[in-house]
Amino acid sequence: QSRRWNVEVQSKSGTLAFTCEPNENLLYAGLRQGLTLPYECATGTCGTCRARVASGSVAVGWEAAPGHKGLKRDKGDILMCQTRPQSDCVLRVPAHVHTSPRHAVPRHHSAVIDCVRHLTQDVIHFEISLNDPMSFDAGQFVVLRAPHLQGMRAYSMVNFATETRRLELVIKRKPGGGFGNWIFEASREGQTVDVFGPLGRATFHPEENYDLLMIAGGSGIAGMMSILSRAVQEDYFSSHKGYVFFGVRTLDDSFYLADFSEHVAAANGNLEVTLAISDEAVASPVHPGHPHVRVVEGLVHEVCARAMKGRYDNVMSYIAGPPPMVDGALRTLIIEGRMTPDRIRYDKFG
């Protein structure tokens, strides 16, 4: 099909419309045109972008997407991030949808991979150079697709910059991870990838004036590095506190330690970074090569719960990592920290 389709969105806030290019999914088309469609992962896992097709025909890309769980497929329920229209459509979206100038509007870009380096055995830092500049909030992510691979994968930016062509990203190898395996199995510098973004609402806004609590597992630390970069650039820690809890299995699985050390040194005693080590005994309370970084044995949300007792006032918290880790951290913050949902921003990725 080579024509563009008209899509009408009926939401709790009224009716809006957008157009969808051939082979473009509904979510990216709507976001690109400034609609605040509901989403979290943008890649088929969370189920947040559900909608019901009231009229028109559609094609679903990834039938086995975990986000389909609980949807009434026979009634026309779809995931907007996995569905392309095949005709003009009317969608019912069970959320408030507006057009909002406050959200950075994501766009399609192409980019070239460079600066690939191993951080640990199964974690790679890589950078991409965009064909045109992008501005993003600290804590946001992009989705990438490699040539000849199905589906988009989400990666949070590690750096923070405005109007930049350069995005720094981190990837952890996972069994069955298409893009992850692709980048690990051969040198990919110079390869072109499709990029859509920026996406994500787990973002840092200095004007909100909160102390920052960051809880991350594995490559979930990416977005926290971006938040720390922005905070340090703006001297945020001269008047606010920051607490970072980074969960890894062993000391050898940790990375970005030199960056943490620099940030702690710049923060005048107002930034604490703790590595939570889940799968080996801890010999020293500080990292042997990076004395600014504390090391504690345990699961990251448990280590956080012990350290943060009584320190949750005026805190905005950020969580990112695999779903069980994020769920554990959410329970800690809600039950022990008595934090309300408006003070918790998180990204779950499978």
> Which residues make up the interface to ligand FES (CB under 6 A)?
39-42, 44-49, 67, 79, 81
Helix axes 257-266, 221-233, angle to 10 degrees: 30
Residue 41 or 304 with smaller CB distance to ligand FES: 41
CA 116-122-123 angle, to 5 degrees, is 45
The least distance separating ligand FES from the CB of residue 60, rounded to whole angstroms, comes to: 12
Residue 49 or 146 with smaller CB distance to ligand FES: 49
The least distance separating ligand FES from the CB of residue 141, rounded to whole angstroms, comes to: 12
Residue 38 or 298 with smaller CB distance to ligand FES: 38
CA 219-221-224 angle, to 5 degrees, is 150
Residue 67 or 180 with smaller CB distance to ligand FES: 67
Residue 39 or 346 with smaller CB distance to ligand FES: 39
The least distance separating ligand FES from the CB of residue 66, rounded to whole angstroms, comes to: 8
The least distance separating ligand FES from the CB of residue 252, rounded to whole angstroms, comes to: 32
How many residues are recorded in the chain?
A: 350
Query: Please, are residues 208 and 148 in contact by the beta-carbon 8 Å criterion?
Result: no
CA 85/CA 9 separation, integer angstroms = 13
Residue 93 or 215 with smaller CB distance to ligand FES: 93
Q: CA nearest 70: which of 79, 62, 57?
A: 79
> Beta strands of 241-337 (E only): which ranges?
242-248, 271-277, 293-297, 315-321
The least distance separating ligand FES from the CB of residue 146, rounded to whole angstroms, comes to: 20
Residues β-bridged to residue 11: 14
Burial 17-51 (b: 16+ CB within 10 A, else e): ebebbeebbbbbbbbbbebbbbbbbbbbbbbbbbb
- Give the distance from CA 21 to its chain's centroid: 25
The least distance separating ligand FES from the CB of residue 240, rounded to whole angstroms, comes to: 31
The least distance separating ligand FES from the CB of residue 68, rounded to whole angstroms, comes to: 8
Token representation of residue 285: 């309370």
Residue 45 or 317 with smaller CB distance to ligand FES: 45
